[in-house]
Amino acid sequence: MNTDLLPPGNSSAEIPSVGRRERFLAAARCESVDRPPLWLMRQAGRSLPEYRVLKEKHSFTEIVQTPELAAEATLQPIRRFGFDGAVLFSDILVVPEAMGQPYHFREGGGIEMEFLIRSAEDIRRLDHRRVTDRLQYVAKALGLIKPELNGRAALLGFAGSPWTLANFMIEGSSGPGSTLSKALYYSEPRLFTELMEKLTLAVAEFLQMQIDAGADALQIFDSLGGHLAASAYEEASGRWIREILAKLGGRVPVILFAKGVHGQWDSLAGTGANILSVDWTQSLAKIRALLPEKVGVQGNLDPSLLSTTPEIVAAETRRILRDMAGVRGHIFNLGHGVPQQAKLECIEALAESVRHFA
């Protein structure tokens, strides 16, 4: 048996009777599983020493755009930690770039768009029709990862939501309050709708391409959804996500991460997402109790804990697991991404706590 993708220290005798991929997909369907499946947002990348070695030779965008390098970065945390899900190493900004708005990373850190959306003409020159052609490097990376996983972990693709992408395209970054993006929404509804329609088509086509290339599940990152007022969320973001999921037609499970969007669980469940990812400020068990039976939850350990000690991480992980014990439709994750300063021993403590929870 090939054990290349087992976590260090595991023998073939310790492989769970339920395969990691099957466990993940069963939980996404809100079926009973032996334990919650586990993956972490930003599990690949700068917290791993093997990734930093890769980064010494290649820029971030080079890794993203080179299928062999993206595949290697994707597989690194699976080899080290034996997660149940492998998420493609990429970036949400590949979609704006494919539409004609390139991005790059500044020397001192942070992203910079080549130009910012400032006029109707800027929006009209964006072209969604060549997104899949221009993003074939993503499809090729998925095609390389899938056989390496060989069914041992679910393969996850992803994209940013139209609202979150629009923020980067208009503000030039995530924008502390989405000031310019919200101004467009309130003051220029026709232009805002034109931008959202283009982004919705682009994201839907991009996600369809990922499914065709082998993705077992998808996550939509509405990371800036919490910048919107409760009264604006459905029209400015939720409806566009619902259109995307309708276009996908239920081909694979979809996770929706709408960070900071609280008290609108009916609206989020109404998008058609199979799983709602919850940030660390909410009680996962209470949110699950509010949702329809067939809508599960993902989360929601505070990412900052990964900078503390293994004992603290293990205790907090077990607390969430106890709160969710016996609840169907739970995928263990963080409440946001793995921070750069995360300690490897803390990530391992998290993984071991989930793996051996009973």
At residue 172, the pLDDT reads: 87
Instruction: DSSP for 193-231, please give it.
Output: HHHHHHHHHHHHHHHHHHHHTT-SEEEEE-TTGGGS-HH
The HSE-up count of residue 199 (CA atoms within 13 Å, CB side) is 31
Confirm whether 4 is domain-assigned: no
Q: Are 241 and 193 in contact (CB under 8 A)?
A: no
The HSE-up count of residue 279 (CA atoms within 13 Å, CB side) is 16
Confirm whether 7 is domain-assigned: no
What distance in Å separates the CA atoms of residue 282 and residue 293, rounded to the nearest whole number?
19
Angle between helices 179-187 and 189-212 (to 10 degrees): 120
Domain count, the chain: 1
Confirm whether 2 is domain-assigned: no
Question: What is the Cα 173 distance to its own chain's centre?
Answer: 18
Confirm whether 5 is domain-assigned: no
Q: Which amino acid is at 189?
A: P
At residue 175, the pLDDT reads: 62
10 Å Cβ neighbour count for 9? Answer: 9
Confirm whether 3 is domain-assigned: no
Evaluate if residue 344 carries a pLDDT over 90.
Answer: yes
Q: Tokens for 83, please give them.
A: 């997660």
At residue 10, the pLDDT reads: 39
Confirm whether 306 is domain-assigned: yes
Secondary structure letter of residue 82 according to DSSP: -
Confirm whether 1 is domain-assigned: no
- pLDDT band of residue 2 (cuts 50, 70, 90) is very low
Evaluate if residue 108 carries a pLDDT over 70.
Answer: no
pTM of the model: 0.93
Range of the structural domain that residue 232 is part of: 12-355
Confirm whether 31 is domain-assigned: yes
At residue 104, the pLDDT reads: 85
Q: pLDDT (tens digit, 9 = 90+) per residue, 241-284? A: 999 999 999 999 999 999 999 989 999 999 999 999 999 999 99
Q: pLDDT (tens digit, 9 = 90+) per residue, 134-182? A: 999 999 999 999 999 999 999 999 999 999 999 999 998 766 779 999 9
Q: Are strands 103-105 and 111-113 parallel, antiparallel or unpaired?
A: antiparallel
Percentage of residues in the chain with pLDDT exceeding 70?
A: 94
- CATH number, domain of 306, equals 3.20.20.210
- pLDDT band of residue 9 (cuts 50, 70, 90) is very low
In which residue are the tokens 């492998």 written?
A: 86
What distance in Å separates the CA atoms of residue 96 and residue 102, rounded to the nearest whole number?
7
- pLDDT band of residue 16 (cuts 50, 70, 90) is very low
